[in-house]
Structure 1
């Protein structure tokens, strides 16, 4: 684990298991403060926090996606290099397993650049959690998933209204012909709340909550490894503390690998839902 993660998680550098300073793990375990870094530059504008670590990482993610796209497309060849091969693998995965299934083959190609960019961008923001000295997923701040979810929500409504008008897009969803009339007083408000009010919130919170919980779990294992390592405990206690610390390190590495998979999975889920919403707006109510 990096020095930044160790010090951030441990709180007090001198607080270790088997120590005589009277501190316990509850005094060093990381909490919500991990997700609220101090602003590096404040503009003094009410309601804003200025430039924080999130801002810098967001810009870095944009640059990474642009760089990956540039090196993937700059010299396309029949025999692809490593970057082009990786890009083609991701493109084919998104096209086959997301866009074509949720939107359709021919009409879905129009939205391939959007879904591909969304997937790469969200994955890049997620993976910041395990990059040494960065170690903060951008999507663990609710504002960033909400912006993406609201964008998809606006696009979903725009496409639906353009293709089917207000009656087809809104009324058709609230009053479908297959629902018995006596159920409508219950069905309409529930459908309106779930589809037109709650949808962007749940779309964003799913990504936000998963990344926040995963990063906090990694921070706890990082703190535990450092807390249980006490080379000054003396005698057998030193050996025991090293053993405990190694167990925490193994758990940290295992959960880091698992978290990497979850980062890709959450990017996939977000893009799949976005494609599903767009496909639904194209199809209209039946």
Structure 2
């Protein structure tokens, strides 16, 4: 449970079965807008330090986790793989067999470094939402999925132009171009990158808000001082909310993995389509 969630729960919590007590206040979208961290007098002296938010710090943590994972699993490569090498080989084979080759065939093998990096980085950013004392998924801020979608978008456009020379498939009749060009531009330059980013953002945003609601609700219902009967009922209610929080946290972990998978899968699909006439 994050500090923001605890504060929200404490402000509106402990009111169950308390006459005149505060009502339950569900977590709001404010938890997704942490205030920039201040470094006191050093904020003005040190450039680019006055607007550092929790998102930026968690982004660095996720990047460090991925870098550490890659270093640990590849530091001693050999013909007979050790435990670390076996893990990274499993990840690479998973991305190749489940994402790259189904979408692009063997021609997609040259994009494996990009796809593996996307998958690991997105998953690392996602799990920031369930790590104690961090608990804020980086993609719940739209700017980060947009940045990743732009990387895929630029790659898609470059690959498409190299393969076909433009956004219009070669061989299209001239008379259909006034209709075909706007459709291709809208699809490739607007809809694809937008939906690619929004899908990841919306899922992480909604999932974290749901977990915060269970956490705040459980704390609100925990009121053992309400008397033998009502105190027992409140503890049972709070325990039910805690159980739901644990179950949904496990479910959210699966969703985090699936969202990393889907984002990478769509990236491979778009790049693969850019290589072929479609």
TM-score in terms of structure 2 length: 0.89
* Conservation of the 8 A alpha-carbon contact between 2:126 and 2:204: yes
- Aligned pair in 2 of structure 1 residues 79, 231: CA closer, same or farther (>3 Å)? same
2:267 is aligned with 1:266: no
In 2, Cα distance between the equivalents of 1:154 and 1:99?
Answer: 18
* Distance apart, 1:15 and its partner CA: 3.5
* Distance (whole Å) between structure 1 residues aligned to residue 102 and residue 193 of structure 2: 21
User: Secondary structure at 2:129's aligned position in 1?
Assistant: helix
Distance 2:76 2:182 in 1: 54
State yes or no: 1:213 paired with 2:206: yes
Does structure 1 residue 164 correspond to structure 2 residue 164? yes
Q: How does 1:1-286 map to 2 (within 5 A)?
A: 2=1, 4=3, 6-12=5-11, 15-25=14-24, 28-41=25-38, 50-77=51-78, 78-81=80-83, 83-105=84-106, 107-166=107-166, 170-172=167-169, 176=172, 188-283=181-276, 285-286=277-278
3-state SS, counterpart of residue 243 of structure 2 = helix
After superposition, the C-alpha distances for 1:137-156 in whole angstroms (9 at most, x for unaligned) are 00000000000101111111
Distance 2:38 2:275 in 1: 44
Answer whether contact 1:6 1:226 (CA < 8 A) is retained. no
Paired residue secondary structure (1:129): coil
Task: Tell me how far 1:8 sits from its aligned partner.
Answer: 3.6
Asked whether the 8 Å contact 1:16–1:226 carries over to 2, the reply is: no
Deviating beyond 6 angstroms after TM superposition, the runs of 4 or more aligned structure 1 residues are: none
Task: Assess if the C-alpha contact under 8 Å between 1:61 and 1:124 holds in 2.
Answer: yes
Count of matched residue positions in the alignment of Structure 1 and Structure 2: 270
* Alpha-carbon distance in 2 for matches of 1:233, 1:279: 62
Q: Deviation of residue 181 (structure 1)?
A: 6.0
SS at structure 2 position matched to 1:276: helix
Instruction: Please report how far the alpha carbon of residue 86 of structure 1 lies from its aligned counterpart in structure 2 after TM superposition.
Output: 2.7
Contact 1:9 1:222 in 2 (8 A): no
Offset of 1:14 from its aligned partner?
A: 5.2
* Counterpart Cα distance in 2 of 1:108 and 1:263: 24
| Distance in 2 between residues matched to 1:245 and 1:253, nearest whole Å | 12
- 1:61-85 C-alpha deviation (Å, 9 max, x unpaired): 111000000000011342531x333
Contact 1:15–1:21, Cα closer than 8 Å, also in 2: no
- Whether the 8 Å contact between 2:13 and 2:22 is mirrored in structure 1 is no
Q: Gapped runs of 5+ residues in structure 2?
A: none
Q: How far apart are the structure 1 equivalents of 2:108 and 2:218?
A: 48
Provide structure 1 residue ranges, at least 5 long, that are not aligned to the other structure. Answer: none
CA root-mean-square deviation: 2.3
